[in-house]
C-alpha cells in the first residue's frame, strides 16, 4: 500500500503573477485540490460522500505553508500528500509540491483538521473505522515541528542543486 499519494499538475498561466511565478494563494488551491483527489483515489471516498453518509467532515483549523522555490507557468509539478499525525479529533496532513523530476521541493503545506459533526456543529472523536483507515496511511516524519521540516527540505533542495 502506498502511504504517500501523488499526482502531476500543469501550472497554468492564468494562475501566475506578471513575472510568470505561481501566485502564493494558487499554491494552496493546487495542493488542496490534489489532496481531495488523493483521498478519493487512495482512501476510496469523496468528502461529499463521507459527509452524506456520516453527517461529519473535516474542518481546517490551521495551515502552515513555506514557499521554498518559485514555480513558473507551464511547469509540471508533482503534488504529494500524506497523513503525518492522527489524534482522537485532530489530524495533520503534509502536502508537498515538487518539480516534475522530484528533485526540487517548491512548497510544503501542513494542514491541521478537526473532525466535525455538521448536525451538532461541534467537534467529536473520529469513528474507529475511519481512524483505522487513516492509521494505515500514517507516515512518521523525523521532524515533529513545521520549522524543522522546512529547514530539512531547504537542505535537501540545496544538496540537489549542487
- pLDDT reported for residue 63: 97
At 52, list the grid cell.
Answer: 452524506
5-160 is classed CATH 3.40.50.720: no
β partners of residue 139: none
H or E element: which one contains 48?
helix 47-54
pLDDT digits (tens, 9 = 90+) for 133-160: 999 999 999 999 999 999 999 999 999 9
Residue 64's region, left for phi above 0, alpha for psi from -120 to 50, else beta, is beta
In this prediction the pTM is 0.95
pLDDT digits (tens, 9 = 90+) for 86-102: 999 999 999 999 999 99
CA distance 128 to 125: 9
CA distance 132 to 109: 24
pLDDT digits (tens, 9 = 90+) for 24-66: 999 999 999 999 999 999 999 999 999 999 999 999 999 999 9
Amino acid at each position: 500500500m502506498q502511504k504517500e499519494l501523488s499526482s502531476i499538475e500543469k501550472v497554468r498561466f492564468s494562475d501566475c503573477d506578471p513575472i510568470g511565478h505561481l501566485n502564493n494563494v494558487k499554491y494552496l488551491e493546487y495542493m488542496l485540490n490534489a489532496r481531495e483527489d488523493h483521498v478519493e483515489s487512495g482512501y476510496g471516498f469523496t468528502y461529499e460522500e463521507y459527509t452524506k453518509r456520516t453527517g461529519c467532515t473535516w474542518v481546517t483549523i490551521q495551515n502552515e505553508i513555506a514557499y521554498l522555490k518559485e514555480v513558473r507557468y507551464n511547469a509540471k509539478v508533482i503534488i504529494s500528500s500524506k497523513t503525518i499525525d492522527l489524534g482522537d479529533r485532530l489530524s495533520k496532513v503534509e502536502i508537498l509540491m515538487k518539480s516534475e523530476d522530484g528533485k526540487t521541493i517548491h512548497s510544503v503545506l501542513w494542514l491541521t483538521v478537526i473532525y466535525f459533526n455538521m448536525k451538532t456543529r461541534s467537534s467529536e472523536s473520529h469513528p474507529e473505522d475511519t481512524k483505522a483507515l487513516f492509521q494505515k496511511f500514517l507516515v512518521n516524519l523525523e521532524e515533529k515541528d513545521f520549522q524543522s521540516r522546512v529547514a530539512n527540505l531547504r537542505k535537501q533542495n540545496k544538496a540537489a542543486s549542487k
